[in-house]
Chain A
Amino acid sequence: MNTVWLSSNLSWIAELTFAHLWLTVVPTALGLVLALPLGWWAHQVPRLYGFIVGSSGLFYTVPSLAFFVLLPGIIGTRILDPLNVVIALTVYTIALMVRVVADGLASIPPETVQAAEAMGYRAFQRFVLVQLPVAVPVILGGLRVAVVSNISIVTMAAIIGVQQLGSLFTQGYSLGLMTPIVTGIVLCLAIAVVLDLLILWASRALTPWRPKEVAA
């Protein structure tokens, strides 16, 4: 470990960490919010399930580096604009979460939803008061996967010059220094653990009704 490099770059590292958090959390949250109606739609209209899940999944196929590079040409942003990263990750999150939300809604016992319908819950009341709360474990389980992979994907943006923890990798490579790279990896993993635990905690807090032994 090169402590000299480390101590002289502490504030930069803190900036990068903050930027990384920001670039991860915002698109993840945005993607979740947008995936909810899409997933509901895919669940509600079974004929559209394949189309919605399949076509959103196709975005997932596009490698992130290619996505970052192509976006400016499509939406007219500058190549260095962090907005490209936010949009690309939002799209990835939607692609992952649409299927999760649809499958989460499908995992609810049909008689539960039917009971709500027959009791006179309107469609929106059903979604907010019954389906969503019951699907929380599945949806947040998917969100844990999404947030952890998003943390890794964000680092790619260093190649096109968007500053975040990935910049430590390119910096280390060009300087031939291992310290920045290891620091970056450790911080990425730390963020992943923290965000993962936060979602897990939220999932438990939102589902006091689940049998304890399976509430993992």
Chain B
Amino acid sequence: MSGLVEFFADPANWSGSTGIPMRVWYHLMYSLIALGIALVIAVPLGIYVGHTGRGEASVAGIANSLRALPTLGLLIVVVMLAAPLFSSSLVFTAPAILVLVLLAVPPILTGTYTGIQSADRSAVDAARGMGYKPSQVLLHVQLPCALPLIISGIRGAMLQIVSTATVAAYVSLNGLGRYIIDGRANSDFGQMAAGAALVALVALALELAFLLIGRLVVSPGLRRSVRRTRMPGAVEPAA
């Protein structure tokens, strides 16, 4: 524990390219880039699957088998296969981000389509009966009703990304995981523990941020039902 305190007390660790602010920045930046790409892919696809009911079985199947796929193995395979394809500056970053996206898509996808499907059938019927067009039903009824599950899916994806981005330091991705990997290589337990603590803090902070976002954007009329709706696989385990 003393090593941990020393690490944080050392001013050298608070500046420069290996300093804490820079590493936090990289960790967050890579995470947000991956999340952004995953959102662009998964939300429209989830809306399509949820709204039409098409491809539901295969989406669920893929999401489940991805959960069983060990992320560390996946990360290493993709980096080894893809590294030759990228120019030098992107050689580790791009494959790692690709894996982050790959892992973030299933929870968002599952959250979105189960959310849309679980929108109260009678509310959807009522909207149709009132003369809403399909697109209006989607925009004004299904999506707002699906928001709690969509946000919960995004939250799961975010945790998955932050967690995997830590591990990705093993394949040289910049970020907080580097403290753990480098610390391990130099048997510097203080540095490892500091990295782990920072990662945990970042993850917790993001979790709280998402809880807050959920409070702000989800209609209070829907909040009660969140607990009742079980959504297998939308919140992925930290990896």
A and B touch in the complex (CB under 8 A): yes
| A41 partner residues in chain B, CB cutoff 8 A | none
| A151 partner residues in chain B, CB cutoff 8 A | 68, 70
Indicate if the CB atoms of A181 and B76 lie closer than 8 Å.
yes
Could you say which interface size class chain A belongs to?
35 or more
What distance in Å separates the Cβ of B226 from its nearest Cβ neighbour in chain A? 11
| A173 partner residues in chain B, CB cutoff 8 A | 76, 80, 170-171
| A103 partner residues in chain B, CB cutoff 8 A | 227, 230
| B170 partner residues in chain A, CB cutoff 8 A | 159, 170, 173
For chains A and B in complex, what number of residue pairs have CB atoms within 8 angstroms?
156
Interface flag for A52 (CB, 8 Å) = no
CA distance A67 to B204 in the complex (A): 13
Indicate if the CB atoms of B70 and A73 lie closer than 8 Å.
no
Indicate if the CB atoms of A159 and B237 lie closer than 8 Å.
no
| A66 partner residues in chain B, CB cutoff 8 A | 166, 180, 195-197, 199-200, 203
Indicate if the CB atoms of B69 and A189 lie closer than 8 Å.
yes
Indicate if the CB atoms of A79 and B189 lie closer than 8 Å.
yes
Interface flag for A153 (CB, 8 Å) = yes
| B163 partner residues in chain A, CB cutoff 8 A | 63-65
Indicate if the CB atoms of B68 and A188 lie closer than 8 Å.
yes
Interface flag for B159 (CB, 8 Å) = yes
Interface string of A164-194 (1 = CB under 8 A from B): 0110111011001010011011001100110
Q: Among residues 41 to 92 in chain A, which have CB atoms less than 8 Å away from a CB atom of chain B?
A: 49, 58, 60-70, 72-73, 79, 92
| A165 partner residues in chain B, CB cutoff 8 A | 70
Interface flag for B138 (CB, 8 Å) = no
Indicate if the CB atoms of A169 and B237 lie closer than 8 Å.
no
Known: A149-B236, A159-B181, A160-B184. A169 touches B73 (CB 8 A): yes
